[in-house]
Chains A and B, each alone.
Chain A
Amino acid sequence: GAVVSQHPSRVICKSGTSVKIECRSLDFQATTMFWYRQFPKKSLMLMATSNEGSKATYEQGVEKDKFLINHASLTLSTLTVTSAHPEDSSFYICSAPDRENYGYTFGSGTRLTVV
């Protein structure tokens, strides 16, 4: 089945630094990628939708300049958390629609801790 590879799985960074998270579709072309944030014991909160070759669409309340999304190729989408602060600590996870556009394949998630 469709596989989305997400890296890194865990990252600890200092306040003020930037962190890049990559999601790569391994055996299919993902023209769309969804980026979610998940707090402990909470649901998946959609942050933005990235589309290959065009600007990402951000959900209300999500800072575009803080969460930079790039979808430069059909197999790679990246989320960069800029000038990270402790409140950005969370579980970030990407998801891509499968070939039939009904199901969704999730990356393995990235646990970000900002100290």
Chain B
Amino acid sequence: GENVEQHPSTLSVQEGDSAVIKCTYSDSASNYFPWYKQELGKRPQLIIDIRSNVGEKKDQRIAVTLNKTAKHFSLHITETQPEDSAVYFCAASRRSYIPTFGRGTSLIVHP
């Protein structure tokens, strides 16, 4: 089955800095890679996703890059703000397959 590794487990940055979270996956057939943000006690919220026919996708301060050859994808957050503080999860799946989640990264943005 799919195996997703996520690093780092904790990331502490100053407000305004950039944050990068990296994930690797094992199943070369995976073709959908979403990123979720989860605030304490709340449901994970999809913040951005990328499919395997695209190498990069951007949405304002958030971007995701995908390298299918190396089987890794990354989340980039620029100009971080305190409200970006949360746990971020990556996931990998194939259509109609159960997603496999990474272990999560706790992002702390210091004002």
When the two chains form their complex, are residues B43 and A106 in contact, meaning their CB atoms are under 8 A apart?
A: yes
How many residue pairs link A and B with beta carbons under 8 A? The number is 46
Q: Is A49 an interface residue (CB 8 A)?
A: yes
Any A CB within 8 A of the CB of B103: yes
Residues in B with CB closer than 8 Å to A102 are 32, 49, 51, 93, 95
A-side contacts of B102, CB under 8 Å: 43
User: A43 and B89: CB pair below 8 A?
Assistant: yes
Can you name the residue of chain A whose Cβ is closest to the Cβ of B46?
A103
A108 close to B96 (CB less than 8 A)? no
Whether A44 lies near B89 (C-beta < 8 A) is yes
With A97-B96, A101-B95: A108-B104 Cβ-Cβ less than 8 Å:
no
Contact with A34, one of B43, B49, B95, B98 (Cβ below 8 angstroms): B98
Q: B89 — which chain A residues lie within 8 A by C-beta?
A: 43-44
A91: nearest chain-B partner, CB-CB: B41
Within 8 A of A (CB), among B72-111: 87, 89, 91, 93, 95-96, 98-99, 101-104, 106
**In whole Å, how far is B1's beta carbon from the nearest beta carbon of chain A?**
11
* Those 4 A-B pairs whose CB atoms lie nearest each other, nearest first: A106-B43, A101-B96, A43-B103, A43-B104
Residues of B in contact with A (beta carbons under 8 Å apart) = 32, 34, 41-46, 49, 51, 87, 89, 91, 93, 95-96, 98-99, 101-104, 106
